[in-house]
């Protein structure tokens, strides 16, 4: 498990290290600069594009804050090792921080080439800006306003040099300039980096999109900060403000959280999953959720669906138990149907509600019956969520054992917010909904967020764009249900389910290609993603490469 921090949290850690612990700011800065210089030197030695004829020059483009001071120090270290390294200053140097002015003085004393923004622009326009690596040290994690004016022009220039091949690699210091450290949003303009060297802990902004796509390869360096648990809450977040929890993300080591299958066991040992899903001509969602629950390890899966789906589901997934009903039966014989629902819910250890249910008039009653009668964990997805959004009184039946799994459109319907509003505040939206209703919220996006009722935040880093296909969400629902059936709690099932789901997508995409993957391929890859049977040499190589990178 890796911890993710906000910009405010990182600034609090930095202040605690300097003021309370007594580590001089310049010591931390020198260690940060050394980490950047080491990564850049590695790029210079190994080559970026395999063109050894290119010059080995490095330009460090620096703002006047401590991020800029880091950039000057990194350039100086490279310069002292014989690399042709220079500094470009953006902003008014005389207004720089104390550390910035000290680093600038050292660079000048060493005779390094230091250009103003205007001189750099002129050099670029004359075609004299040839370098292997450009260090982006304009803004750090404290950026809270839109980037405008000369700063915006500078960032556009950096991106243009990278795009046209003038610069082979852009290395960002702590976070790409212009990316919000908390949300990953672009603050007007943002640097597109190939590498980000960040300090202490990874920032939320390089895990959430679009910041994640702008950060390139992220290297986390320990530069001597004290452990996070050594900070008191009031130091971390301010005495008069509510404590903000640290977020986390999972890696391959977290697969050890999956419960082992006891030797002395039977099918009932590993959970009975009831999947209430499917409507006429919409049995695919029910099939995919059931298949995923079985592939994740559930012992028994029962599908409660409309009678029209019986034949195809029995033929596609003979391992599943079927219980069927008709819309007329539900609407006209309410008391008898409620008895049926009560009986099915008593049988189940886990209930899935919603995939492919459609929007028939009877669905409202079905959702109400499940929410009022189920005593085991309930995973609500798709049309279950749409029904709740259309009939808000159903939220009064929410309990702490409910997990909801909305995508952005479904979350918009649930909250009344627009999709752009939610996208810009993904973590806050999930956290507020989870806290308000006392449940677990899995807000699905390219970087899915899981918010627990206690306030914990998980941001997912596994997965691939190949998973953007119909049915992928149904597979996730089944995975979460399968983990619940194995005995995991709601929060852990949601977090690990999201991670395994993304990992399965990576395995499946190797086999099928990014464009050709289907949701059924995703479900079939679950066992490999969980560390079961080998995925095949190519898929294993992809996962091993990813795993080693995450561990590093």
pLDDT score, position 547: 63
Q: What angle do CA 228, 231, 232 make, to 5 degrees?
A: 140
Does the annotation flag 489 for ligand binding? Answer: no
Residue 245 is predicted with a pLDDT of 85
pLDDT in tens, 466-506: 999 999 999 999 999 999 999 999 999 999 999 999 999 99
Q: Is the dihedral of CA 350, 354, 356, 362 positive or negative?
A: positive
Alpha helices by DSSP H, 178-252: 211-215, 233-237
Helical (H) or strand (E) element with 442: strand 440-443
Confidence of residue 328 (pLDDT cuts 50, 70, 90): confident
Write 103-107 long-range contacts (CB < 8 A, 24+): 103/29, 103/69, 103/72, 103/73, 103/76, 104/69, 104/72, 106/72, 106/73, 106/76, 107/72, 107/75, 107/76, 107/79
pLDDT more than 70, % of the chain? 92
Q: Is 174 annotated as ligand-binding?
A: yes
Q: State yes or no: 145 annotated in a binding site.
A: yes
Peptide bond into 210 cis (omega under 30): yes
Asked if residue 521 belongs to a known ligand binding site, the reply is no
DSSP state, residue 149:
H
What pLDDT, on the 0 to 100 scale, is given for residue 546? 62
- pLDDT at residue 533 in the model: 40
pLDDT at residue 223, rounded to an integer = 96
Residue 70 annotated as lining a ligand binding site: yes
Tokens 């895990």, residue located: 207
- Residue 146 known to bind ligand: yes
Whether residue 552 has pLDDT greater than 80: no
CB 55 within 8 A of CB 128: no
**Residue 151, annotated ligand binder?**
yes
Can you give the C-alpha Rg of the chain in angstroms? 27
pLDDT at position 52: 45
Mean residue pLDDT across the chain: 92
Q: Is 444 annotated as a binding residue?
A: yes
Nearest to 432 by CA among 444, 420, 441: 441
109-163: pLDDT as tens digits: 999 999 999 999 998 888 777 789 999 999 999 999 999 999 999 999 999 999 9
pLDDT digits 0-9 by tens, 220-264: 999 999 998 877 654 444 444 456 789 999 999 999 999 999 898
Strand partners, 170: 134
Is 446 assigned to a binding site?
A: yes
Q: Tell me whether residue 529 is annotated as binding.
A: no
* 144 marked ligand binding residue: yes
544 annotated binding-site participant: no
Tell me whether residue 140 is annotated as binding: yes
Q: Is 473 labelled a binding residue?
A: yes
386 among annotated binding-site residues: no
**Of 552 and 504, the one with more pLDDT:** 504
Is 177 marked as a binding-site residue? yes
Q: Which domains does the chain have, with CATH numbers?
A: 2-248 (3.40.50.10260), 265-551 (3.40.1190.20)
Predicted confidence band of residue 540 (pLDDT cuts 50, 70, 90): low
Is 515 one of the annotated binding-site residues?
no
Annotated binding residue at 470?
Answer: no
């Amino acid at each position: 498990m890796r911890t993710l921090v906000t910009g405010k949290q990182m600034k609090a850690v930095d202040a605690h290290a300097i003021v309370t612990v007594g580590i001089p700011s310049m010591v931390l800065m020198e260690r940060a600069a050394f980490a950047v210089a080491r990564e850049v030197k590695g790029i210079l030695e190994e080559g970026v594009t395999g063109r050894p004829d290119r010059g080995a020059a490095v330009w460090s483009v620096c703002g006047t804050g401590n991020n800029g001071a880091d950039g000057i120090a990194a350039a100086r270290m490279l310069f002292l090792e014989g690399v042709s390294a220079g500094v470009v200053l953006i902003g008014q140097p005389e207004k720089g921080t104390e550390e910035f002015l000290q680093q600038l003085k050292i660079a000048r004393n060493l005779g390094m080439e230091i250009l103003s923004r205007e001189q750099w622009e002129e050099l670029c326009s004359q075609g004299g800006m040839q370098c292997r690596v450009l260090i982006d040290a304009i803004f750090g994690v404290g950026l809270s306003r839109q980037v405008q004016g000369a700063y915006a022009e500078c960032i556009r220039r950096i991106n243009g040099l990278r795009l046209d091949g003038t610069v082979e690699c852009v290395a960002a210091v702590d976070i790409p300039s212009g990316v919000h450290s908390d949300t990953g949003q672009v603050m007007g303009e943002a640097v597109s980096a190939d590498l980000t060297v960040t300090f202490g802990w990874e920032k939320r902004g390089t895990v959430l999109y679009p910041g994640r796509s702008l950060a390139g390869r992220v290297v986390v360096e320990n530069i001597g900060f004290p452990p996070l648990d050594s900070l008191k809450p009031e130091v971390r977040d301010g005495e008069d403000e509510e404590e903000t929890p640290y977020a986390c993300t999972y890696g391959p080591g977290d697969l050890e959280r999956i419960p082992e299958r006891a030797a002395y066991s039977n099918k009932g040992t590993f959970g009975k999953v009831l999947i209430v899903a499917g409507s006429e001509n919409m049995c695919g969602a029910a099939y995919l959720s059931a298949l995923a629950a079985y592939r994740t390890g559930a012992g028994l899966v029962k599908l409660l669906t409309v009678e029209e789906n019986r034949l195809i589901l029995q033929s596609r997934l003979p391992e599943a138990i079927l219980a069927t009903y008709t819309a007329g039966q539900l609407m006209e014989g309410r008391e008898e149907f409620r008895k049926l629902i009560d009986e099915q819910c008593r049988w189940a250890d886990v209930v899935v509600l919603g995939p492919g249910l459609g929007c028939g008039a009877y669905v409202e009653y079905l959702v109400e019956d499940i929410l009022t009668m189920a005593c085991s964990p309930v995973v609500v997805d798709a049309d279950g969520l749409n029904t709740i959004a259309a009939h808000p009184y159903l939220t009064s039946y929410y309990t702490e054992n409910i997990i909801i799994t909305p995508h952005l459109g479904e979350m918009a319907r649930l909250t009344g917010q627009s999709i752009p509003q939610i996208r810009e505040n993904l973590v806050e939206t999930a956290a507020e909904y989870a806290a308000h209703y006392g449940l677990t919220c899995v807000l699905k996006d390219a970087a899915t967020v899981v918010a627990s009722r206690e306030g914990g935040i998980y941001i997912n880093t596994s997965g691939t764009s190949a998973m953007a296909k119909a049915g992928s969400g149904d597979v996730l629902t089944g995975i979460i249900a399968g983990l619940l059936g194995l005995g995991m709690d709601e929060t852990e099932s949601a977090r690990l389910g999201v991670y395994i789901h993304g990992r399965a997508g990576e395995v499946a995409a190797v086999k099928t290609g990014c464009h050709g993957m289907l949701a059924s391929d995703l479900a079939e890859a679950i066992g490999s993603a969980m560390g079961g049977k080998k995925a095949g040499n190519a898929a294993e190589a992809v996962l091993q490469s990813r795993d080693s990178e995450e561990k590093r």
